[in-house]
Structure 1
């Protein structure tokens, strides 16, 4: 399910990116995604150093849900021409 959500975000990125910058934008997107996955794993490992592993997994799951809830309203807004113009500027 996470992969399918990522495809929707990639589609939004492509919509908001000018044609001549799409390759660079997708490369940066992929690099950032990999870096944040590594950061998340590192944070999870650090949390698990101080509390039991099961509790750490629960803490990380709750944190993930909270981030999702915070980002969802913004990501539900459709990409409009004015949004594309603001990003291109």
Structure 2
């Protein structure tokens, strides 16, 4: 899933993402299109990483998710080597 839901900025000063997966991607929690609902954007910066990442989820799904579910999704990115 990490290749489909995560967008990123190549450099901290970038205003536009290098890659933006758009709004037709699935919410990582309910697997329905993110565009169908109130959206929350979550930003991640891996320690020692060169890219700043983000993903989008339905706000209600993110707020109701367990910390284990959030960790599992974010770890799928953090634990994947940069290409």
Q: With structure 1 as the length reference, what TM-score do the two structures score? A: 0.29
Q: Pick the structure with greater CA Rg.
A: 1
**Which one has a larger percent helix, Structure 1 or Structure 2?**
1
More strand by share: 2
